[in-house]
Structure 1
Amino acid sequence: MIRSRRLLPFVAGLVLFAGASARSQQPAPPLPPPHAGFAFPAKQTLNYAVDWRVFPAGIVSFHLEQDGDLERVSVTADTVGAVNLLFRVSDRFQSAFHRTTGCSDSFSKQTIEGRRQVNSELHFDYNQRKAFLSETNLVSRITKHQQNSIPACVTDSLSAIFYAASQPMTVGQSFEAPLADAMKTVPVTMKVEGREEIKTPAGTYQTIRVEPTADAGVVKNRGNIWIWYTDDDRHLPVQMRARLFWGTITFRLTSIDQK
C-alpha cells in the first residue's frame, strides 16, 4: 500500500531538495540571485498528474502570480482514485519569494491527511536573521511557536522549484543554495546531469535533468529525486520524480494555463 501521507509533502516540494551529497555541517552557501534577464511568470498555472508506480495517485496544480516585487506560488494537491479511498489527502501550500534576489518571504500550508489536520505559517525576517513558525493542530487545538536563526537569504522548499529555474543550467555543472527545511538551513546542491526528451500529456519537451541533493532533510538516504526543466529560457518543470524506498512517484505535466 502506498504511504499516502508521504505523497503530498513531496507534491509541494517539501522533499524535493533533500538527498545525500551536500555539506550540512558547513555554513550555508549564499543564495545566487536570479540570472540577469530571467523573467518569472506574471500569471501561470501548471497542472500535473501524479502516479505511484503505475497507478494514478493524485492531481496537483502550481499557480504563479506576480505581486509587486514578490512571486507568489500556490499549490493544490489532492489524492484520486483508490489512493483517495485508502487515505484521503487534500493539501494547500503557499509561498512567496523576491524576484530580484530569490530570497523567500514566507511559506504556509494547510494539510488534511487522513484524520490529521494542521495549519502552519513560516515567515522570514532578514533584519533579525530569524525564521518564525506558527503551527496549529486543528484536531487537538494545540498550537506551537518556534524560531530559528537563518542566513542573510534563503529559499524554501516550494519556492526553490521555481527559483532554481532562474539559474543557468549547464550539463555537468551544479549550483548551491541554502534551503529552509524543518526550521533548519540545509545546503542543497543542484546537479545538472544531462539532456533528455520527455513525453508528457501536455506534449513532448527537450529537457535538462536536475538532481537536488543534500546531507539532511526529509528523505535523507532514502532515495533519489529529479526534476526535468525545459531546455529553453523558461526552464519549466515538466516532470518530477522521487524514487523512494516505498516506491516511485512521478509528476507529469498535463496542461499549462496562462491565467
Structure 2
Amino acid sequence: MLSLAGTTSAPAQFPGMRPSVPVVIPTLQPPDPVYAFPQHATLTFSVDWRVFTAGTAVFHMDRVGTEEKVTATADSVGNVNMIFPVADKFQAGFDTKTGCSTGFSKQLQEGRRKINSDLAFNYATGKQTEVVRNMVKVTSTQKTASIPACVADSLSAIFYVASRPLVVGQKVNFPLADSMRTVTVAMKVEGKEEIKTPAGTFQTIRVQPTADEGVVKNRGTIYIWYTDDARHMPVQIRARLFWGTITFHLQSYEIR
C-alpha cells in the first residue's frame, strides 16, 4: 500500500531473491505562483478519427475561490453516433495554490453501457474512495485505497501541467490517482512546433505524457500541444491507439 510518504512497502524477502526497490512516488509540485488560471474558459475541440470527424469535446473551467473546477463533455457525431453513440461527461477540480485534486467523477454513456463513478480524496486520512454505479444493471461497488498527501486526477492534470514551467528537454513529474492506484506520470517537453487548427495558427510546445502503468500507458502514445506563451492553453491533443489515431483540434475558445 502507498504510504503518506509516497513509497510502497517492501514485500518479504526470500533466499535467492534480489532485494526489492521501493517505488518512489514524486511529490506534486504547486503551480507556478505567477501563473494566472482563468476565471472562466471554454475550449471546444473537434475529434477526428482517421479521415472524418467522429465527435466533439468541450472543456469548461471556472474558478471558485482557490479551486479551479473543470468539466469536460465528449459526444459522438455523424455516422459514429449512429453506430456507437457516445455522450460522456467528466468533472474534476484542483486547488490553484497546491495543485491537489479535489475529486473526479464521470458519467459514461457509450453504446448500451452506462456507468457513473465518483472518486473522492481525503488527504487528512491518506485515503481515496471510489463509488462505481452500473446504471443498466443497477449495481454499485465501493473501493478504498491509500494515496499520498497530494495527487492529480486524469482530467484536471491537463490544466495543472499548464501552470508549470515547460522547458524543452525537461520533464514535469507528478503523482496521478488512477484506478485506485497512484502512478507517476512524466510529462516530457519534447519541442516547439507551429500548429494550425480551425481556431487559428499557434506557436506551441509539444508535451508527451508517459507512465509505466495505468490509464496513460493504456491510452497508447499521447501528445498535447500547449501554446508557447503565458497561457499554456492546450490547442491540440493526439492519441495513437491500437485501433487508430484520434486527434482533438481546437475549434474555438473563450478565456478570461
TM-score after normalising by structure 1: 0.88
123, 128, 144: which one pairs with 1:126? 123
Whether 1:135 and 2:122 are equivalent positions in the alignment is no
Whether 1:42 and 2:25 are equivalent positions in the alignment is no
- 1:54, CA displacement in angstroms? 1.1
Q: For residues 175-194 of structure 1, what are the structure 2 equivalents within 5 Å?
A: 175-194=172-191
CA 1:219 to 1:25, structure 2 compared with 1: closer, same or farther past 3 Å? farther
Render the CA deviation track for 1:141-196: whole Å, top value 9, x for unaligned: 10011111000100000010000000001101112000011111010111000000
Cross-structure match for 1:28: 25
SS at match of 1:64: strand
Identity between Structure 1 and Structure 2 (%): 58
- 1:220, CA displacement in angstroms? 2.9
Cross-structure match for 1:18: none
Cross-structure match for 2:197: 200
Name the aligned partner's letter for residue 29 of structure 2. P
Cross-structure match for 1:56: 53
What is the CA–CA distance in structure 2 between the aligned matches of 1:152 and 1:42, rounded to whole Å?
27
Structure 2 gaps of 5+ residues are: 1-20
SS at match of 2:215: coil
What is the CA–CA distance in structure 2 between the aligned matches of 1:126 and 1:219, rounded to whole Å?
23
- 1:115, CA displacement in angstroms? 0.7
Whether 1:147 and 2:131 are equivalent positions in the alignment is no
CA 1:221 to 1:139, structure 2 compared with 1: closer, same or farther past 3 Å? closer
Name the aligned partner's letter for residue 141 of structure 2. K
Render the CA deviation track for 1:113-145: whole Å, top value 9, x for unaligned: 111111111111000011111111111110011
C-alpha contact 2:151 2:175 (8 A) present in aligned 1: yes
- 1:244, CA displacement in angstroms? 1.3
Cross-structure match for 1:96: 93
What is the CA–CA distance in structure 1 between the aligned matches of 2:245 and 2:203, rounded to whole Å?
22
Whether 1:243 and 2:240 are equivalent positions in the alignment is yes
TM-score after normalising by structure 2: 0.90
Which 10-residue stretch deviates more, 220-229 or 136-145? 220-229
SS at match of 1:156: coil
What is the CA–CA distance in structure 2 between the aligned matches of 1:112 and 1:55, rounded to whole Å?
22
Name the aligned partner's letter for residue 118 of structure 2. E
SS at match of 1:122: strand
99, 103, 107: which one pairs with 1:106? 103
Kindly name which structure, 1 or 2, has the bigger radius of gyration based on alpha carbons.
2
- 1:76, CA displacement in angstroms? 1.2
80, 87, 108: which one pairs with 2:84? 87
TM-align CA RMSD: 1.4
What is the CA–CA distance in structure 2 between the aligned matches of 1:62 and 1:154, rounded to whole Å?
21
SS at match of 2:157: helix
Cross-structure match for 2:113: 116
Structure 1 gaps of 5+ residues are: 1-23
Number of residue pairs the alignment of both structures matches: 236
CA 1:219 to 1:151, structure 2 compared with 1: closer, same or farther past 3 Å? closer
Larger relative contact order (C-alpha < 8 A, sep ≥ 6)? Answer: 1
